[in-house]
C-alpha cells in the first residue's frame, strides 16, 4: 500500500512491494488520521517498512508517533528557483529540508531524491545551495538523482516554457529531437544529463564522501558511464524507495530483476 506520493511496504528479503502514486498524503495530516495509523502499525512489525514519498513541509505532527524506525520518508527535492517557479503548491526547498530535519530528529529515516531535476537558468547555483542546506540540517542515508524525462521537447516546452530553461540545455534538447525520440530518457541527450549529474555529485561529495548516491529511472548507457563514479551498477544500487533498499543498505544483496515478484494480495504477515 502506498501514500504520500509514493508510499510502499518494504521487505528486507525478497524485494516485494505493493504501491500506487496517487497523492501526497502528509498534506492531509493530522486531521485525516490515516497516515499516523499506518506509521504506528508498521512500528509493530519486523522487517517491514513504510516508505512515504513526499514534497511536504508538514511533519510537525509526526514526532509523538511510535514508529520504531520502520517508516522511511523520502523527499523529492529541487533547487529554490524550481520549487518557487514550477512547484508553487509544494513546500519550498527550505521548507522540505526543515520538515526532514524535524522527522530525522524524531528518529525517522530520511532520504532525498533530486527528482525531477529541471535545468532552469540557475540550476548550477541552485544545486550547490540546496545540497549545502540539506547537509547543514540533515544526514540522509541515500540520495538519488533524476533529470526531467519521459516527455519530448515540445511537451516540455508546453509544460515549462522556454524562458525558464537554461538556453544551452534547451538548445541541446531541440538539436537531439530525433536522437531521443524513441528513448524514455528524452528530451535531454546523454551529455546534458551527464553534465547535470556530475555537478550534483560533486556538490554532494563536498559534504559527504560516503553517502550512497544513485541514478533514478536512468537508462543502461548512463549507468555504464556513471557506475564507476557512484560505486554501483544498474542492478545493485540503493534507491530512495526501492523495495530492497532497507535502512542502512549500501548495496543491494539481490538482483532486483531476478527476485522481484508480483504480490496482489500483499505481504504475508502485513495484512490481516
In a domain, 246, yes or no: yes
- Helix (H, G, I), strand (E, B), or coil: what is residue 197? helix
Q: What secondary structure does DSSP assign to 153-165, as a single string?
A: HHHHHHHH-GGGB
In a domain, 113, yes or no: yes
d(CA 43, CA 226): 37
List CB contacts of 32: < 8 A, sequence separation 6 or more: 25
In a domain, 225, yes or no: yes
In a domain, 189, yes or no: yes
H/E run at residue 174: helix 167-175
In a domain, 272, yes or no: no
Query: Residue 246 maps to which CATH number?
Result: 3.80.30.30
In a domain, 270, yes or no: no
In a domain, 1, yes or no: no
b/e 191-218 (16+ beta carbons within 10 angstroms → b): ebbbbbbebbbebbeeeeeebbbbbbeb
Give pTM, 2 decimals.
0.86
Task: Indicate the number of domains in the chain.
Answer: 1
Structural domain span for residue 174: 8-259
Q: What is the pLDDT of residue 62?
A: 97
In a domain, 168, yes or no: yes
pLDDT in tens, the chain (272 residues): 333 343 333 333 333 333 445 568 898 899 988 899 999 999 999 989 999 999 999 999 999 999 999 999 999 999 999 999 999 888 999 999 999 999 999 999 999 999 999 999 999 999 999 999 999 999 999 999 999 999 999 999 999 999 999 999 999 999 999 888 778 889 999 999 999 999 999 999 999 999 999 998 898 999 999 999 999 888 888 888 877 888 888 888 777 666 656 655 555 554 44
Amino acid at each position: 500500500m502506498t501514500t504520500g506520493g509514493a508510499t510502499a511496504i518494504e521487505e528486507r528479503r525478497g524485494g516485494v512491494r505493493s504501491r500506487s502514486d496517487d497523492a501526497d498524503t502528509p498534506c492531509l495530516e493530522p486531521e485525516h488520521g490515516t497516515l499516523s495509523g499506518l506509521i504506528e502499525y508498521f512500528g509493530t512489525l519486523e522487517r517491514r517498512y513504510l516508505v512515504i514519498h513526499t514534497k511536504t513541509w508538514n511533519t510537525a505532527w509526526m514526532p509523538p508517533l511510535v514508529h520504531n524506525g520502520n517508516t522511511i520518508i523520502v523527499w523529492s527535492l529541487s533547487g529554490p528557483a524550481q520549487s518557487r517557479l514550477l512547484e508553487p503548491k509544494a513546500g519550498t526547498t527550505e521548507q522540505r529540508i526543515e520538515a526532514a530535519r524535524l522527522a530525522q530528529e524524531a528518529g525517522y529515516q530520511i532520504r532525498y531524491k533530486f527528482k525531477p531535476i529541471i535545468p532552469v537558468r540557475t540550476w548550477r547555483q541552485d544545486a550547490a545551495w540546496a545540497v549545502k542546506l540539506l547537509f547543514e540540517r540533515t544526514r540522509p542515508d541515500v540520495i538519488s538523482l533524476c533529470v526531467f524525462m519521459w516527455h519530448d521537447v515540445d511537451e516540455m516546452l508546453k509544460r515549462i516554457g522556454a524562458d525558464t530553461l537554461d538556453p544551452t540545455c534547451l538548445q541541446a534538447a531541440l538539436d537531439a529531437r530525433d536522437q531521443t525520440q524513441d528513448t524514455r530518457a528524452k528530451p535531454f541527450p546523454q551529455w546534458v544529463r551527464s553534465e547535470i549529474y556530475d555537478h550534483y555529485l560533486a556538490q554532494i561529495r563536498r559534504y559527504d564522501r560516503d553517502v550512497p548516491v544513485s541514478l533514478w529511472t536512468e537508462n543502461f548507457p548512463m549507468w555504464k558511464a556513471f557506475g564507476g563514479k557512484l560505486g554501483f551498477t544498474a542492478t545493485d544500487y540503493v534507491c530512495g524507495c526501492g523495495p530492497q533498499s532497507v535502512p542502512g543498505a549500501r548495496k543491494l544483496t539481490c538482483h532486483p530483476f531476478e527476485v522481484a515478484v508480483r504480490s496482489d494480495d500483499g505481504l504475508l504477515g502485513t495484512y490481516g
